[in-house]
Amino acid sequence: MDGALCVRYDLTDARQASENQERLAQVLLAARRLQHFLGNQLALTLGYVELLTYDPRLPGELRDRVDEALRGVLEATEALSRLRLLTRLELAHDDPSIVELLGPPGPPGPLDGS
């Protein structure tokens, strides 16, 4: 018996999944770089604001504004910390077309949509 066997695979879905995964990796890299930059800027701002809180020459009204600025910087730092959790990705079940966003164990926080 002579003949030929031809098997054809449609790689479109796998190729699209691979391209999507590559794009997502690039977006994540940009997000992580931005988070790093913002973290450095917040650390610098926090340092200066903390120095101002220890200045005994600061008048009461300005001290209130410095305290408000300190609270704002601490809240922004916490928000950035929560945002970092959203950029942790893991492939689910070794399938590149399924990506899960991992967050911290426990109850969801304000950035988790709750």
Distance CA 51, CA 9 (A): 65
Predicted TM-score (pTM) of this structure = 0.60
Both tokens of 81, joined, read 């910390």
Residue 85 reports pLDDT greater than 70: yes
Report CA 86 to chain centroid distance, whole Å.
5
Q: 8-66: per-residue pLDDT in tens?
A: 666 777 788 888 888 888 888 888 899 999 999 999 999 999 999 999 999 999 999 99
The residues spanned by each domain of the chain are: 12-104
Q: 54-71: per-residue pLDDT in tens?
A: 999 999 999 999 999 999
